[in-house]
Structure 1
Amino acid sequence: MQLKWTDTLDIAIDLDEAHPDVDPQYIRFTDLHAWVCALENFDDDPEKSNEKILESIQMNWIEEKE
């Protein structure tokens, strides 16, 4: 499955698997953006992200950690 920016929960799950030792509560959006773009299944325009999308990914990732 190819991930798009709108797949915030699936992205969060993949990020949690790729970076299990990271506390997403303290991640910078610049790092988050880079890590999303580096995911193997991610296939979307890097320029289409925004703060709202990154915040949603971060919130989903925090929930996945709990």
Structure 2
Amino acid sequence: MSLYWDDTYEIAQALIQSHPEQDPLEVPFTTLLNWITELADFNDDPNGVSEAKLEAVQMAWYEEVTG
């Protein structure tokens, strides 16, 4: 399955798998960007990101781990 910037929930799930002990609110956007673009299934343009998209991923990740 390919991941694209609009796949907020799926990206959050992948980050939970790859960084299970990480508090999503402690991750700087620069690090978050790197982690997302390094995901094996990520196939979007790394330059096509915005702060709003990174924030949406971060919030989806946070909501998933805090339940």
TM range (shorter): over 0.9
Partner residue, 1:20: 20
Letter in 2 for 1:50: S
| 2:40 is equivalent to residue 40 of structure 1 | yes
Q: Post-superposition shift, 1:62?
A: 0.1
SS in 2 for 1:53: helix
TM-score, with length taken from structure 1: 0.98
Runs of 4+ residues over 3 Å off in structure 1? none
The 1-side partners of 2:64 and 2:17 are apart by: 10
Q: Post-superposition shift, 1:42?
A: 0.4
TM-score, with length taken from structure 2: 0.96
Report sequence identity in percent.
44
Aligned residues: 66
Q: Post-superposition shift, 1:26?
A: 1.1
Runs of 5+ consecutive residues of structure 2 not aligned to the other structure: none
The 1-side partners of 2:64 and 2:40 are apart by: 19
Q: Post-superposition shift, 1:19?
A: 0.2
SS in 1 for 2:15: helix
The 1-side partners of 2:58 and 2:30 are apart by: 12
Q: Post-superposition shift, 1:48?
A: 0.1
Runs of 5+ consecutive residues of structure 1 not aligned to the other structure: none
